[in-house]
Structure 1
Amino acid sequence: MRVERFLTDSAQAFPEKTALVTADRRLTYAELNRLTDALASSLAAQGVKRSDRVLVFMDNCWEAVVSIFAILKAGGTFSPINSSTKGNKLTYIIGNCEPAAILTQGRLMPVVREALAEHPGRQIAVLSTEGRNGVPEGAGSFIAALEAEATPPAHGSVETDLAMLIYTSGSTGQPKGVMMTHDNIEAASRSIITYLEGRSGDIVLNVLPLAFDYGLYQLLMTFRLGATLVLEKSFAFPQAIFDLMRRERVTGFPLVPTMAAMILRMTELQPGFLPDVRYLTNTAAALPAEHIAQLRGLFPGARLYSMYGLTECKRCTYLPPEELDRRPGSVGIAIPGTQAFVVDDTGAQVPPGVEGELVIRGPHVMQGYWRNEQATSAMLKPGPDGVIQMHTGDLFRTDAEGFLYFVGRKDDIIKTRGEKVAPKEVEAVLHALPGVAEAVVAGIPDPILGQAVTAMVVLSNPALTEREVLAHCARNLEDFMVPKRIVFKDALPRTDTGKVSRRLAAGELEQAA
């Protein structure tokens, strides 16, 4: 199934149903279908053809949703770009994927112009969401394009064509373009919908960027189901979001750990304050066990799914909610229709309890990194039977029943005093201390220890002292794992997608040392 059918099939089945709710517009499936037809026709008139890349450089808005499905209807490959992206990074992306067009917002045109100035000979159509009379210099009118003849072009694309090129933020170096076909997206969305028990009556809130695959799939899965997506730009004002959720009777609430920490710091919230929510999901990073317990207390009628995934395959594992009490620290089992197992350096599977690298197999695994054979071959390797499998670079272990536990990134492991320390283990102990809201742990170069275990902590109880935190760690960790220093901060450093950045934290801690 080609991905644009997520919209067209639902438009046929539920034409008058509300598909999308944003701050300034509500659109039915029929209205969205017509708008995407019109924009697809306009893109084709601009020269966009089968397999051409088109950048969607916008924040979370209805125009971004229309853009994604219009590009697919034109036979192109959409590439969502975070609206916080700066000119130098956009310059790199343009040079890397050579887009045929860029769909953007008027306020972002200065960044687009800066990036295009570095590619003076490249022919790229630019459409801005500003009104017809207010189109920024150098751009066509997105609004006028929506008034084009509403007949999508016949493009001849097939399910094995690329549907999406999504750039990873990357811990080092330039971002890499993850290549996902229509088949990849179909398989991933079908699998996730299966274990979430998705239904057409769902109303899903999404405050995560559409340029972040977790946020993007809220759109894709909702439209595939014929459900309703409530799209917001951020979680900066939680009370306003909660009011919106109550008004719209939201049933699905995707979280990242940052959002969970914000919610749990709001002491005035009472259990059941969002009574319509039937499920919560978490990915991007593992939730501390203490946060899981507190969230379950606030959402007593909801199912909580702890998950693990990578942009390179969308989702790897999920923990069935009924297993939370038995193994709150687990990220579960392979998602339906896929395989996940732990191997040693030779590629052989390891027994339960032994740490190794997580390997993923299935129809949701990417095709590779765009124009980066070296990075592709490092991640996608043939298994013993010749089938390509994805080596995640993450350390895991399993329990006796095959449930998976995240240990840490291979390159995150701290080597101190000749011992290896997984930052996540130290963070779990820190999160268990009342008064600690968030924590991130990194290894800082040390002439004697090699690396010194160092923690950056955000407090919910400002009276807590470094001595008390260290004493708690000493009671619960082996001596070589106890941080040598605790640095208190008002907030932890984060990536554009809101994930806590261990790399940025390490840089700040090293500078402050």
Structure 2
Amino acid sequence: MRVEEFLRNSARLHGEKIALVAGANRLSFGELDAVSDRLAAALQRAGLEPGDRALVFMDNCWEAVVSIFAILKAGCVFSPINSSTKPDRLSYILRNCRARAVITQAKLEGIVEAARPGSSVDCVIVAGAAGESGKDVMRFSDCIADPGATPRHGGIDIDLAMLIYTSGSTGRPKGVMMTHRNVEAAATSITTYLENTSDDIVLNVLPIAFDYGLYQVLMAIKIGATIVLENSFAFPQAIFDTILREKVTGFPLVPTMAAMILNMRDLRPGFLPGLRYITNTAAALPVEHIGRLRRLFPGVTLYSMYGLTECKRCTWLPPSQLDVRPGSVGIAIPNTQAYVVDDEGRKVGADVVGELVIRGPHVMQGYWEDEQATARVLRPGPHPWERVLHTGDLFRTDSDGFLYFVGRKDDIIKSRGEKVAPKEVEAALHACPGVSEAIVFGIPDPVLGQAVHAVVVVNDPALSEQVVIRHCQKNLEDFMVPRSVSFTNELPRTDTGKLSRRLAADEFNRQETEMAK
């Protein structure tokens, strides 16, 4: 199935039902289908052909959802770009994928114009109070004005549907290629274990440029559920008010949001009575936070999951296992296989740390025009007709086959000849009274090779470095205990909201350099 069929099918089955809520804007499935048809026809009139790439450079607004489905209906490939993206990065993406079109908002039009020189872009569509239309700049409102416009194309499900650009934490961003079949497989698997139905109402504050946020939209449209879009979690109480007003049943979050919720002092257990489930991915929730969330949301099912852009989702922990294996990220999602291998690619037994490998129909096709990077992660699988995804993440399994995240290969700290997984140290730090968030990395040390350093956010201003280190000494092996601790009001994050070890280390090094002057 092609992804635009998600919308066509739901419009046929649930035409009058509200599909999308974004601020004061409410669109039914029938309206969303019709408006995206009009925009798709406008893209085709502008000269876009099947397979051409088009960027959706917007925040979480109704026009962004319309744009995604319009691009697909035109037979093209969409690439969602975070609205915080700066001109240099946007320019690189435009040139890298040779985009023909950009759909954006008036407030972002200047960034697009700054990034366009040297690109293939010959069509810009601007939503909002844009300037004058021209040959290659069109108003969004004009593009959706023709009620009789209907797009035409003859694509199939192995065609490319989207390019999701990675955060680029280790270099230039790479475009992850996902076909319609990849997307459909991932969406079907996830909605199966979440037990989603058309009765669900899902609130999404995550950027739709982030695949976790994007799939909330795609999955809701696929099953005929309602998606409620918000732009941020900066004001949690306002989000809670929306959850109550819209009768939200599903609430995807990331660990940062969980930490914010748990730091709020005036919340009482059960304050969101209509909520059915909460999901978490992007990074594992600290075990301490899982327990506190369950006490704050009694009766709400908590799904702990793990995934990466290259295959969307890898594992999920059945909620019945939370008490038994709170530190696990679970088992392979439906219609997927996940296993751990050594450096030679051989499967390892229980409690042996190795690299996680994913096999399934949701695994990406590769990185856009980057054969070397693709070959590093997509390698021959158990059968001659396939390639499997080597994630670069270190895992172990228990005796029952449940998976536990150990760390990124590149994140492992080598101290005193021992290997330290930052996640294990961070888990101990999160259990320290007064610590809200923590991140750990290695710093050069003439004796140890690398010393473990922790950066923490606290909710107790009296907490000292000595107290934190003593707590770790009681709960960790000696070589894992941080040698130093620094305090901050906020940990650095990528554009998608993930805590960034690299950015934290860069900031630490910058501060050290300044102090040495």
Give the TM-score category using the shorter length: over 0.9
| Residue 456 (structure 1) aligns with | 455
Alignment deviations for residues 387-409 of structure 1 (CA, whole Å, 9 cap, x no partner): 31100000000000000000000
Aligned to 2:229: 231
Quote how far apart the aligned CAs of 1:150 are: 3.7
Name the structure 2 match of 1:289. 287
User: In the TM superposition, what are the counterparts of 1:196-207 in structure 2 within 5 Å?
Assistant: 196-207=194-205
Code of the aligned partner of 1:315 = R
What corresponds to 2:515 in structure 1? none
State the shift of 1:171 in Å: 1.8
The alpha-carbon deviation at position 132 of structure 1 amounts to: 6.9
Moved over 6 A (4+): none
1:118-142 per-residue CA deviation (whole Å, 9 max, x = no partner) reads 43xx352001002476659962111
**Rounded Cα–Cα distance in structure 2 between residues aligned with 1:332 and 1:97:** 35
In 1, Cα distance between equivalents of 2:313 and 2:473: 36
Distance in structure 2 (CA, Å) of the matches to 1:335 and 1:135? 47
Superposition TM-score, scaled by structure 1 size: 0.98
Aligned positions of 1:361-400 closer than 5 A = 361-386=359-384, 387-400=386-399
- Paired position in structure 2 for 1:433: 432
Deviation at 1:32, TM superposition (A): 0.6
Shift of 1:323: 0.1
1:12 corresponding residue in structure 2: 12
Partner Cα distance (1:482, 1:310) in 2 = 29
User: Could you tell me whether the CA contact under 8 Å between 1:416 and 1:451 is conserved in 2?
Assistant: yes
Deviation, 1:191, is 0.2
Letter matched to residue 58 of structure 2: M
Contact kept in structure 2, 1:394 and 1:408, CA below 8 Å = yes
| Residue aligned with 1:392, SS | strand
The match for 1:508 is 507
Contact 1:128–1:135 under 8 Å retained in 2: no
Q: Which amino acid aligns with 1:78?
A: F
Query: Partner letter of residue 325 of structure 1?
Result: D
After superposition, the CA RMSD in angstroms is 1.2
Deviations 1:177-210 (A, max 9, x none): 0000000000000000000000000000000000
CA contact (8 A) 2:94 2:121 kept: no
Equivalent residue runs for 1:255-270 within 5 Å: 255-270=253-268
8 A contact 1:74–1:152 mirrored in 2: no
Question: In terms of mean alpha carbon deviation, does 480-489 or 441-450 score higher?
Answer: 441-450
Give a deviation string over 1:450-499, Cα, whole Å, max 9, x none.
11100000001111111110000011111111101110000100011111
Q: Is the 8 A contact 1:279 1:304 kept in 2?
A: yes
Amino acid corresponding to residue 358 of structure 1 in structure 2: L
- Give 5+ residue unaligned stretches, structure 2: 513-517
Name the SS for the 1:462 alignment partner.
coil
Amino acid at match of 1:338: T
Equivalent position of 2:470 in the other structure? 471
Q: CA deviation at 1:170?
A: 2.3
Q: For residue 357 of structure 1, what is the aligned residue in structure 2? A: 355
Per the alignment, in what secondary structure is the counterpart of residue 303 of structure 2? strand
Q: What is the match of residue 481 of structure 1?
A: 480
**Displacement after TM superposition at 1:153 (Å):** 2.2
Secondary structure in structure 2 of the residue aligned to 1:487:
strand
CA positional deviation for 1:326: 0.2
Q: Give the structure 1 partner of residue 276 of structure 2.
A: 278
Question: Scaled by the length of structure 2, what TM-score is found?
Answer: 0.97
CA shift, 1:292, in A, is: 0.3
Q: 1:362 to 1:134 in 2, by over 3 A?
A: same
Where do 5+ consecutive residues of structure 1 fail to align?
none
Partners of 1:403 and 1:135 in 2: CA distance: 56
Other-structure match for 1:219: 217
For residues 192-245 of structure 1, give each alpha carbon's deviation from its aligned partner in whole angstroms, at most 9, with x where no partner exists.
Answer: 000000000000000000000000000000001101000000000000000011
Aligned residue number for residue 29 of structure 2: 29
**Count of residues in Structure 1 that have an aligned counterpart in Structure 2:** 511
Residue of structure 1 equivalent to 2:416:
417
Partners of 2:511 and 2:16 lie apart in 1 by 57
For 1:244-255, list aligned pairs within 5 A: 244-255=242-253
The percentage of counterpart residues that share the same residue type is: 64
Q: Which residue of 1 aligns with 2:56?
A: 56
Aligned mates of 1:86, 1:338 — CA distance in 2: 36
Whether 1:300 and 2:292 are equivalent positions in the alignment is no
What's 1:193 paired with? 191
- Partner SS, residue 336 of structure 1: coil
Query: Secondary structure at the residue paired with 1:297?
Result: helix
